[in-house]
Amino acid sequence: MSDGQAALALLARRKIRGFWARQLRKARTPKGALLTVLGVAMFALWILSIVFGASGERLVVQVDQLAVLARLGLLTMTMLTISSAFSLRGLYLPASEIEALFSAPIPRGALVRYRLRSALVRSLFGALFFGWMFARRAPEPWFAFAGIFSALMTLPLFGQALSLVLGDAENRFAARLSGLPWRTMSFVLIAVAVALFVISGEDAGSTTSFGSYEELFSFLSEHPLVRAIGIPFTPWIGAITALDARTFWPWFAACGAIFAGLWWAVPRIPVDYRELSLETSADVARRLARARRGLAANAGAAGANTRSWRTPWLAGRGPFGAAAWRKAVTIVRKSRASFLLGGVIVSLVALFSIAAGEQEPDAALRGALMVAGFGTFYLCIGLRFDFREDLDLIGLLRTWPIAPWKLFLATLIPETMLVSAMIALGVGGLALYHGSTDLRLLLVVGAVPFAVLAWTAIDNATFLFAPVRMGAAHDGALQNAGRAMVLMLVRTLILLLCGALACVPYIVLDSVLELPALVSVGFGCLAGVAILCAEIAVLVVVGGEVLRRFDVPRDQP
């Protein structure tokens, strides 16, 4: 081993030791220790569920169905790799290392191999997990596991090669291709692949809008576009779908040859990546710094086209309206990707509900409940136009001439309206598709704003009580997992309590007093709305009190 490679190996070992030292340091405080224990317990329960689930009956699918799943899955991971290559052009090294490594007497190929080893280590767990997932559905589990594992371990080499090629200063297509919505397309493919993976374990006779699940997979396996997608992945798909060793080993040998060829060729790509790598490293460092300060959690600066857009004053022009207008401006001017992502989420859930239950009774109502439930869950987690993107501005916000509870409510209203509008459009699309005039759909749409506002109020009150700053290298991974576990438990209990209390008037009127159905529903809804409003008011008051008590000096990084 040369001196440069020995130095890089020492650096890698020291970084691993530093990671665990930071984890232990965070676990020394009572709160850190509790969150660490919960995070470890959450991870252990997940692993145990996988292990015990593996002992059950395997849901084996047909070879052509497995090929469809493999094509879509590998295409999805490839799209994510391409997206990462566009955002990390050149050879990405952390800002704390890049200048020292570039100025050290280390060969260029050694630096590239250093990054490749790091990328392979990071991909190892995902390759093992997805290999196990496919093995559970494959006729020959070990062949499928080996094929998926080799494919996912090859993708980091392909991604690094693409990053180096795109980092070429004379590359004329990188800027044009980088404008494509790679991440959005990847998300669509992920949703489609997950949906197909789930329904591949259903009864083959179950009905969909395509007739049956077997007919759906037959259509996808024979479609020329799907077959064309699988051409670059032919060696890995051949290994995954192999039924005997004589078929498997030639394909797997081809996969190994591709891996070895990329390992040899990538460090020898004749591209001078140093200048662009410095820019990439500085850009990533700026984004991490902004995320740590809580700024621009959903997007960067306003685009040139959106800066001139006028934002309506939805809550008046007083202090309350000004606070809501400020957050609405952020949504309108900086959230093009968020609008697209939210629309994709709602559309995919609606399409999945159509495919899964078109011929069932009350299909429109079932689909509306799916859109409302999954839409609220994913949009409230993904869209954070609230205090979680204003962490460094809370000290300034507290000086405004407005009561804390009013500021708390005004900040949450724009996000609540955005999520509710997206879900209402999804439910409306389902009603048009099914031709349904069921009035219960209006009840679903009417209940969504209460659920969204309660969800965001719980999240923001918890965040203000115990704020968390984003950091590099997953420094607080275990603590964040424990925090997520506690937050999910609190959120679930409060939302279930709110829903149960809102249903009490209807239950009393219908079951105890035995009033007519129309009277029970009418007065039950009115009383339920009043109870929901009271519960939301309590959450807002609690959030305002937490905001008033927010200790700005203690939270400074």
Q: What is the mean pLDDT of residues 66-84?
A: 80
Q: What is the mean pLDDT of residues 22-42?
A: 70
pLDDT-derived band at 203 (thresholds 50, 70, 90) equals very low
Distance CA 110, CA 5 (A): 6
Distance CA 498, CA 495 (A): 5
DSSP 169: T
- Tell me what percent of the residues of the chain surpass a pLDDT of 70: 69
Q: Is 90 exceeded by the pLDDT of residue 217? A: no
pLDDT tens by residue, 439-479: 778 888 888 888 889 888 888 888 887 777 655 445 555 66
pLDDT tens by residue, 125-158: 888 878 887 777 788 888 888 999 999 999 999 9
pLDDT, position 87: 75
Helix (H) or strand (E) holding 229: helix 224-229
Worst-scoring range by mean pLDDT, 6-15, 157-166, 465-474? 465-474
Q: What is the mean pLDDT of residues 307-318?
A: 74
207-to-191, 203, 210, 214 alpha-carbon distances in Å: 20, 9, 8, 10
pLDDT, position 222: 64
Q: Is 50 exceeded by the pLDDT of residue 18? A: yes
> Which tokens sit at 445?
């749409």
Q: Nearest to residue 432, comparing CAs of 509, 495, 350, 553?
A: 350
Taken in order 8, 13, 16, 17, the sign of the CA dihedral is negative
pLDDT-derived band at 357 (thresholds 50, 70, 90) equals low
Q: Helices 336-357 and 182-199 sit at what angle, rounded to 10 degrees?
A: 20
Distance CA 333, CA 466 (A): 29
Distance CA 352, CA 188 (A): 12
pLDDT, position 388: 79
Using CA atoms of 426, 484, 300, 320 in order, give the dihedral in degrees to the nearest 10. 70
pLDDT, position 208: 45
Distance CA 85, CA 52 (A): 37
pLDDT, position 262: 92
Worst-scoring range by mean pLDDT, 196-210, 273-287, 323-337, 459-473? 196-210
Distance CA 518, CA 432 (A): 26
The overall longest dimension of the chain from CA atoms, in Å, is 87
Q: What is the mean pLDDT of residues 62-76?
A: 78
More confident of the two residues 389 and 356: 389
Collapsing DSSP to helix, strand or coil, 270 comes out as: coil
Q: Is 90 exceeded by the pLDDT of residue 112? A: no
Q: Nearest to residue 144, comparing CAs of 162, 132, 153, 160?
A: 132
More confident of the two residues 408 and 182: 408
> Which tokens sit at 203?
């009864």
Q: Nearest to residue 274, comparing CAs of 418, 112, 502, 406?
A: 112
* Sole residue written with tokens 């591949």: 200
Worst-scoring range by mean pLDDT, 190-194, 517-521, 538-542? 190-194
pLDDT, position 249: 92
pLDDT-derived band at 353 (thresholds 50, 70, 90) equals low
Distance CA 470, CA 52 (A): 34
pLDDT, position 496: 80
> Which tokens sit at 264?
């040899």
Cβ 138 vs Cβ 144: under 8 Å: yes
Q: Which amino acid is at 512?
A: V
516-to-78, 440, 504, 511, 521 alpha-carbon distances in Å: 59, 17, 16, 10, 9
Cβ 163 vs Cβ 85: under 8 Å: yes
pLDDT-derived band at 55 (thresholds 50, 70, 90) equals very low
Q: Nearest to residue 11, comparing CAs of 98, 122, 91?
A: 98
What is the CA angle 544-550-554, rounded to 5? 170
pLDDT, position 216: 58
First to last CA, the chain: 41
Mean of all residue pLDDT scores within the chain: 75
User: For 340, left (φ over 0), alpha (ψ -120 to 50), or beta?
Assistant: alpha
Collapsing DSSP to helix, strand or coil, 488 comes out as: helix
Q: Helices 404-434 and 319-334 sit at what angle, rounded to 10 degrees?
A: 50
Distance CA 535, CA 239 (A): 56
Q: What is the mean pLDDT of residues 78-91?
A: 79
Cβ 411 vs Cβ 540: under 8 Å: no
229-to-27, 71, 223, 234, 275 alpha-carbon distances in Å: 47, 7, 10, 10, 35
Helix (H) or strand (E) holding 238: helix 234-240
pTM of the model: 0.67
Helix (H) or strand (E) holding 49: helix 30-54
**DSSP states along 292-336:** HTT--SS-SSPPTTTTT-----TT-SSHHHHHHHHHHHHHHHH-H
Q: Helices 182-199 and 63-87 sit at what angle, rounded to 10 degrees?
A: 160
pLDDT, position 54: 47
Distance CA 543, CA 534 (A): 14
79-to-19, 22, 162, 229 alpha-carbon distances in Å: 29, 33, 12, 12
pLDDT, position 164: 84
